[in-house]
Amino acid sequence: MPHFLCRLTPPRPSFLADMTDEERALMAAHGQYWRAYVEVGRVAAIGAVADPAGAWGVAIIEAGDRQEIEALQARDPVVLSARGFFYQNFLMPTVALRPVEPRAAVSSVSP
């Protein structure tokens, strides 16, 4: 199944630094929504990016197609809030994921 890099842009570049209490609660709901997909293996990684030009969120999501990604995002509490968050989705033509269980000791990799 294909993977997509998904970028979530918040309503303002300073969002992570100056969230209101209401926005903080909204972000908690956002995190809870996506953690469920992490736990079942649909989301490989999710988190905030400390970009000097303005923080944003990133996720690497496994999905059948772009429409499936967009359907998941449409149910995200931050999108439903209509507060100016928006996603950009990029197909990853190739991706290498780490195995659930390491296949070799870290010492076997030379720097």
Number of domains present in the structure of the chain: 1
pLDDT of amino acid 106: 54
Q: What is the CATH number of the domain that holds 39?
A: 3.30.70.1060
Q: Distance of CA 23 to CAs 29, 64, 81, 83, Å?
A: 10, 31, 10, 9
In angstroms and rounded to an integer, the radius of gyration of the C-alpha atoms of the chain is: 16
Q: How many CA atoms lie within 13 A of 40 on its CB side?
A: 8
Give the model's confidence band at 111: pLDDT under 50 very low, under 70 low, under 90 confident, else very high. low
Residues spanned by the domain of 49: 3-93
| Mean pLDDT within 1-5 | 95
Q: Characterize the bridge pairing of strands 43-49 and 3-9.
A: unpaired
pLDDT of amino acid 100: 74
In a domain, 106, yes or no: no
pLDDT of amino acid 70: 97
Query: What predicted TM-score, i.e. pTM, was given to this entire model?
Result: 0.87
Model pLDDT for residues 77-104, shown as the tens digit of each residue: 999 999 999 999 999 999 998 877 665 5
| 63 vs 28: CA distance, rounded Å | 24
